[in-house]
Amino acid sequence: MGELTQTGVVQHLQNGQLLRDIYLKKHKLLPSDWSTDHLYLETTGKSRTLQSGLALLYGFLPDFDWKKIHFRHQPSALFCSGNCYCPMRNQYLEKEQRRQYLLRLKNSQLERTYEDMARIVDVPTKQLRAANPIDSMLCRFCHNVSFPCTRNGCIDMEHFKVIKTHQIEDERERREKKLYLGYALLGAHPILNQTVNR
């Protein structure tokens, strides 16, 4: 099953068309007799990155020759190739995760909300992370799909409000502490270097 939504596919197709207009039509940066040396593609083992790449590629080159396309497998979601070892980046991430954990512990209403949601969807509370219910809730807001319901009850707007309030607080603290910024800057460094080298 695909992990990329239809909306995501459409966005990648449109981005590919924009890139085609700029890179191919306007600046003619890819020759008509292009080879694998002209077009470099990387993807992780996650199907959504492959699906994103294919959708973008199709928008960019709708008549591409599959035999001329080579995808390089990237084992890391940071796209850091052989330069993934970075102890300082890992320290930033560990401190950021600890900050998030401590903030969550301080919020008893959030904890009760997670317990209630976990009971509804029948998973252990410790397994329930913000991304799980938020993904489900975004389906409601982005695609007008109803909140998840089971025989144990329904996830509802009150659950969402508690999580949203916590996430706003989390984002405010994240900006103040700048731990994730340090992690993100060090995480982006390898792919930026690869881009410059290419």
Could you give the CA distance from residue 99 to residue 104 in angstroms, rounded to a whole number? 9
Q: In this structure, are residues 46 and 181 in contact, taking their beta carbons and an 8 Å threshold? A: no
pLDDT single digits (tens) 44-68: 888 888 889 899 999 999 888 888 8
Note the pLDDT of residue 133.
66
Note the pLDDT of residue 68.
85
- Does this model's pTM top 0.85? My answer is no
Q: Which range is least confidently modeled, 3-7, 44-48, 85-89, 162-166?
A: 3-7
Residue type, 13: L
Note the pLDDT of residue 69.
84
Query: Is 36 exposed, middle or buried, given 0-12, 13-18 or 19+ CB atoms closer than 10 A?
Result: exposed
pLDDT single digits (tens) 105-132: 899 999 899 899 889 988 888 777 666 6
Note the pLDDT of residue 136.
65
Q: In this structure, are residues 187 and 78 in contact, taking their beta carbons and an 8 Å threshold? A: yes
